Amino acid sequence: MESRGSGSVLSVHDVTFRVAGVEAPLVGNVSFDVFPGDFVCIVGPNGAGKSTLLSLLGGALAPTSGQILLLGRNLREWERPRIASHVSLLSQFAPPVFEYTVREVVAMGRAPHQDAWLRMRAEDERAVDAALARWELDALASRAVATLSGGEQKRVALARIFAQATEVMLLDEPGSSLDLRQTISLHEHIASEVRERKVACVAVTHDLAIAARFATRIVLFAKGSIQAEGTADEVLTEARVREVFGAEVALGTHQGMRWFVPIRTA
Q: Is the pLDDT of residue 105 over 90?
A: yes
Q: Is the pLDDT of residue 5 over 70?
A: no
Give the pLDDT confidence of 53-62 residue by residue, as tens digits: 999 999 999 9
Domains of the chain: which residue ranges? 10-235
Q: How far apart are CA 26 and CA 38, in angstroms?
A: 25
Q: Report the run of H or E that residue 32 belongs to, with start and end.
A: strand 27-34
Evaluate whether the domain defined by 10-235 bears CATH number 3.40.50.300. Answer: yes
| Residue 230 DSSP SS3 | strand
Q: Is the pLDDT of residue 115 over 80?
A: no
Question: What's the first-to-final CA gap in the chain, in angstroms?
Answer: 27
| pTM for this prediction | 0.91
Predicted confidence at residue 51, as pLDDT, reads: 94
Q: How far apart are CA 264 and CA 132, in angstroms?
A: 41
Whether 120 contacts 110, CB under 8 Å? yes
Lowest-pLDDT range, 113-127, 159-173, 189-203? 113-127
Q: Can you say whether the dihedral through the CA atoms of 115, 161, 218, 221 is positive or negative? A: positive
Q: How far apart are CA 42 and CA 202, in angstroms?
A: 7
Per-residue pLDDT, averaged over 228-251, amounts to 94
Long-range CB contacts for residues 26-29, cutoff 8 Å, separation at least 24: 26/52, 26/224, 27/52, 27/53, 27/56, 27/63, 27/224, 27/225, 28/223, 28/224, 28/225, 29/66, 29/225
User: CA 202 from chain center: how many Å?
Assistant: 4
Per-residue pLDDT, averaged over 161-173, amounts to 94
| Residue 63 DSSP SS3 | coil
According to DSSP, the β-strands at 168-172 and 200-204 are parallel
Predicted confidence at residue 237, as pLDDT, reads: 93
Give the pLDDT confidence of 10-40 residue by residue, as tens digits: 999 999 999 998 899 999 999 999 999 999 9
Q: Average pLDDT of the chain?
A: 91
